[in-house]
Amino acid sequence: TAVKDFSEIPQPKSLPILGTFLDYTKFRGFNVANLSNLFKARFDELGPIYKNKPGLSEPTVHCFSPQDNEKLFRLESRLANRDPIEFLKVVRERIGVPSGLVNIQGEEWYQLRRIVNEHFLTNSSVWSYSKDIHEVSEDFVDYISRSLDSNNEVPNFALALNKWALEGAGVFSLDTRFGMFTGEVEEHLQEIVDNSNLMFQLMAELTVAPPFWKYFETKQALKQCQAAQVAAIKKQRDILLKRIKEKDPEKLTKLEKLMTKKDLPQGEVDILVSDMLGGGVDTTSNAAAFMLYIMAVNPDKQEILREEIKTALQSGKVDGKSLQRMKYLHACALEAQRMFPLTPGTSRRLPVDVVLSGYNVPAGTRLLLLSNVAHHKNPEYFDQPESFLPERWLERKHKSKFAMIGSFGMGARACPGRKFAMQEVHYLLISLLSRYKVEYHHKPIKPHFRLVTVPSEEPQFTFIPL
């Protein structure tokens, strides 16, 4: 079949100069919470690939084909190129701090990512924090026990989940317990917590703002927030460095080794911690909310998982290696991510021309890879797609399909904290389901888009003591 030209890629209806800009405004009924629905509607209308050009911006090619996505990840170089978060990059330049892993490109990105992977993606590093992460979840469940109201619910449970995720993020990004559930939080640690929450909220607002965002107060608020966040993190980092000097070099944790690397500037460490606390917290708390919801509305699956947890706990504490052997727990997590993908997709720019769905796409074109939006509930790929069936992931044939629902991104630029995030969620389920039955008695929860996917309703659960 002859390859078609880039100009022939299908496009939605658009206006001169404005292009499709109005489709992303309230004039056309657009709500950013339903961004994934717009992508899915375009897929249904235009097929597996289309080209979009809002206003004066460059065209973006939207790719829904899993086969195209796989081809793109095979072709990307080790210097995987993804567009930066432009407003965050500008803000950091203006306050004189590094751009951060999410915003840099090329060899600079590769060298920093290689160092980061040693701490965040090796099993030995992740497992070394399993005891502390399990303790965080136990403290959280103790908090739940103390906080239950007359309906056996925890008031404002979404906030409590956020605190739990922050407590866990503090463990793996700062070797620090903030003390969210066990006592008074030190002033500079509370600043880190408050600014982490505020930064993610501001970034969510700016992500969907029009391009003149830079002239408005939201950007100024982000600038002040980022500066305060870095100052508070630097204070805690100095405390850790003092502690490190007093330790045997052979007994340093992976994070302590990362913090003392001679080829990693301290400013880069501070921004890395800031990104892990900001992005990691929101992603992890929402992943946990979706997971608890889907378990609550599927009590039969919850009971199967509870039995696996009981068996694992009979041998004592569940460490990292034994956690890996809990097949049904992992299957439940994969199925929850299928039904509630944490991101609509990811972006790339390839250094070479590529043929996607029969069309030639020139090197350097901005690509949005959205196969999870189109296919996470496609019956061609998943039997009974609307049903929560963790058992499907116990079959070898389904394992490769996870590529189309990569909730933490895909390829070389996938979220470096994904293993820590899922370890936190796994331990939460172990601690919670071993002591409570979880129920949900409110409006059905659907995925809404912010900076990541969030629950459409407040995740208020009923906890029934076992």
Residues paired with 463 in a beta bridge: 438
d(CA 386, CA 382): 9
- Residue 58: HSE in the Cβ half-sphere, 13 Å Cα cutoff: 9
Would you say 258 and 237 are in contact if contact means Cβ atoms under 8 Å apart? no
d(CA 269, CA 135): 26
Between helices 418-433 and 266-296, what is the axis angle to 10°?
40
Between CA 411 and CA 421, with CA 417 as vertex, the angle to 5 degrees is 115
d(CA 158, CA 115): 33
Residues paired with 448 in a beta bridge: 454
Q: Cβ neighbours of residue 260 under 8 Å, at least 6 residues apart?
A: 241, 244, 252
**Structure tokens of 239?**
């405390």
d(CA 3, CA 431): 55
Between helices 418-433 and 299-313, what is the axis angle to 10°?
90
d(CA 324, CA 422): 11
| DSSP codes joined into one string, 244-271 | HHTS-GGG--HHHHHHT-TTS-HHHHHH
The answer on whether 332 is annotated among ligand-binding residues is: no
d(CA 406, CA 370): 10
Q: Cβ neighbours of residue 87 under 8 Å, at least 6 residues apart?
A: 203, 206, 213, 214, 219, 222
Q: Go through the chain and tell me how many residues it has.
A: 466
Q: What residues are designated binding site?
A: 415
Q: What residues are designated binding site for heme?
A: 415
